[in-house]
């Protein structure tokens, strides 16, 4: 870990920085402690003294770097920045221990006898060390935060793209000629047979498109809102399939406040309806319920002949959004009789929503 590529932790490969930093720090302290010595004393004693300073600078850099990597691994990213700033000064303790060990036990072996270049005071060496410490740590912290911000920006753009794709897919499904044809046919039929049901059907249809417009700017919405939109959609489809399609919702009031990716439940229900046979002989049952940290969508598996599986573009898109918003992933389980989709629930609206970060 002392000199391996730590890009997964830091966000960048710092090995070249280590080499340049150690050499630069060594030249800096030599210039501060022994100004113009390079031009006035023989090369051999100068390089001997330089090598002594190089050893302590290298030891300090590698030890502090290792401790900083441990700290960064436990408290990574922008959200832990303040925590790191409080802990970083504690790294001066091992810094001082190594410095005093060098000054009193190792430095004498590299001393020289030039009156014009006497040994610097211990206080001067410690103050120089402290300044160098914070400059070096500042470089690491600055580069790490720069990479984090850049990665966050990239992920936000990717999330926007995935979200737009999901919205487009839902919109296409609801503007699909078959869906519109079936909806209009149902309205025409209800107008002649039951005008009140026709009005309710038109209202529900408007609610479906209203939900699409309202939720297109949000990364997360309350489960209550998503269930409402999905219920309205399933009620519309029920006018076509009647008792052959059953969508049951079993969600507690507490879970209704949890957050979920917009359109994820609706896509799951649409996915089940689209890929499975629905008839008098084979009615389709879809159950929607919560289990700990997941919203479960379970349906009887009776795939159409042309569909080898249920997981299409819609679920892949929802999966990508979850990866960008949290460290939780959707879970797909399938056997001969049932298809189960588990959608993670991500806290509540009152809590601070999880930001898109690069600390995986």
261 and 132 in a common domain: no
Whether the per-residue pLDDT at 132 is higher than 50: the answer is yes
pLDDT in tens, 110-130: 888 887 788 888 999 999 999
235 and 120 in a common domain: no
Whether the per-residue pLDDT at 310 is higher than 70: the answer is no
| 357 belongs to a structural domain | no
pLDDT, averaged across the chain: 82
148 and 221 in a common domain: no
Average pLDDT rounded to a whole number, residues 193-218: 74
Q: Which of 101, 125, 153 is where one domain is finished?
A: 153
**pLDDT at position 69:** 93
pLDDT in tens, 208-249: 767 766 666 677 889 998 998 888 888 888 877 888 999 999
Show the 3-state SS of the chain.
CCCCCCHHHHCCCCHHHHHHHHHHHHHHHHHHHCCCHHHHCCHHHHHHHHHHHHHHHHHHHHHHHHHHHHHHHHCCCHHHHHHHHHHHHHHHHHHHHHHHHHHHHHHHHHCCCCCCCCCCCHHHHHHHHHHHHHHHHHHHHHHHHHHHHHHHHHHHHHHHHHHHHHHHHHHHHHCCHHHHHHHHHHHHHHHHHCHHHHHHHHHHHHHHHHHHHHCCCCCCEEHHHHHHHHHHHHHHHHHHHHHHEEEEEECCCCHHHEEECCCHHHHHHHHHHHHECCCCCCCEEEEEEEECCEEEEEEECCECCCCCCCCCHHHHHHHHHHHHHCCCCCEEEECCCEEEEEEECCCECCCCCCCCCCCC
Q: Which of 153, 184, 206 is where one domain is finished?
A: 153
- Half-sphere CA count of 235, side-chain side, radius 13 A: 18
265 and 335 in a common domain: yes
| 359 belongs to a structural domain | no
Answer with the residue of higher pLDDT: 179 or 132: 132
| 197 belongs to a structural domain | no
Average pLDDT rounded to a whole number, residues 5-17: 87
pLDDT in tens, 55-91: 999 999 999 999 999 999 999 888 888 999 999 999 9
The bridge status of strand 338-344 relative to strand 331-334 is antiparallel
In 3D space, the residue among 274, 32, 239, 21 whose CA is nearest the CA of residue 140 turns out to be: 21
Q: What is the pTM of this model?
A: 0.53
227 and 98 in a common domain: no
| 147 belongs to a structural domain | yes
Q: What are phi and psi of 221, to 5 degrees?
A: -135, 165
Average pLDDT rounded to a whole number, residues 151-161: 70
Q: The domain containing residue 296 runs over which residues?
A: 215-344
pLDDT in tens, 321-353: 787 777 788 899 988 889 999 999 987 754 434
| 169 belongs to a structural domain | no
Average pLDDT rounded to a whole number, residues 155-174: 58
Q: Which of 138, 153, 168 is where one domain is finished?
A: 153
**pLDDT at position 172:** 47
Percent with pLDDT over 70 in the chain: 82
Neighbours of 33 (CB within 10 A): 18
42 and 115 in a common domain: yes
And the tokens for 164?
Answer: 């737009």
**pLDDT at position 325:** 76
104 and 230 in a common domain: no
Percent with pLDDT over 90 in the chain: 35
Answer with the residue of higher pLDDT: 182 or 65: 65
| 172 belongs to a structural domain | no
127 and 18 in a common domain: yes
* Alpha carbon distance 56, 98 (integer Å): 8
**pLDDT at position 179:** 57
And the tokens for 128?
Answer: 């120089």
**pLDDT at position 357:** 35
| 210 belongs to a structural domain | no
Q: What is the CATH number of the domain that holds 278?
A: 3.30.565.10
147 and 14 in a common domain: yes
Answer with the residue of higher pLDDT: 306 or 330: 330
And the tokens for 264?
Answer: 């994820």
338 and 223 in a common domain: yes
**pLDDT at position 321:** 77
139 and 234 in a common domain: no
Assess contact for 264 and 240: CB atoms under 8 A: no
Q: How many domains does the chain have?
A: 2
26 and 144 in a common domain: yes
**pLDDT at position 119:** 82
């Amino acid at each position: 870990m002392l000199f391996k590529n730590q890009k997964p932790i830091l966000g960048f490969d710092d090995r070249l920085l280590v080499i340049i930093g150690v050499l630069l720090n060594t030249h800096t302290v030599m210039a501060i402690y022994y100004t113009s010595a390079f031009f006035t004393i023989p090369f051999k004693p100068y390089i001997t003294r330089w090598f002594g300073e190089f050893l302590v600078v290298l030891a300090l850099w590698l030890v502090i770097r290792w401790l900083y990597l441990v700290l960064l691994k436990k408290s990574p990213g922008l959200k832990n920045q303040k925590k790191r700033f409080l802990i970083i000064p504690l790294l001066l303790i091992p810094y001082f221990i190594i410095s005093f060990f060098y000054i009193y036990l190792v430095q004498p072996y590299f001393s020289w006898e030039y009156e014009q270049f006497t040994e610097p005071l211990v206080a001067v060496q410690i103050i120089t060390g402290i300044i160098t410490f914070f400059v070096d740590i500042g470089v690491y912290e600055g580069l790490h935060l720069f990479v984090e911000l850049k990665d966050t920006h990239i992920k936000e753009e990717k999330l926007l793209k995935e979200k737009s794709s999901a919205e487009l897919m839902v919109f296409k499904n609801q503007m699909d000629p078959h869906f519109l044809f079936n909806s209009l046919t149902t309205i025409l039929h209800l107008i002649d047979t039951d005008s009140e049901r026709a009005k309710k059907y038109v209202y529900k249809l408007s609610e479906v498109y209203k939900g699409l417009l309202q939720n297109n700017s949000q990364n997360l919405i309350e489960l209550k809102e998503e269930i409402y939109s999905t219920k309205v959609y399933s009620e519309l489809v029920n006018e076509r399939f009647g008792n052959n399609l059953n969508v049951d919702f079993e969600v507690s009031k507490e879970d209704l406040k949890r957050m979920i990716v917009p359109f994820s439940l609706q896509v799951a229900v649409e996915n089940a309806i689209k890929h499975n046979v629905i008839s008098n002989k084979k009615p389709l049952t879809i159950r929607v319920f919560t289990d700990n940290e997941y919203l479960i969508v379970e349906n009887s598996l009776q795939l159409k002949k042309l569909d080898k599986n249920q997981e299409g573009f819609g679920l892949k898109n929802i999966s990508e959004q979850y990866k960008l918003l949290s460290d939780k992933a959707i879970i797909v389980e399938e056997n001969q009789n049932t298809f189960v989709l588990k959608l993670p629930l991500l806290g509540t609206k009152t809590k601070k929503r999880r930001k898109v970060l690069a600390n995986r």
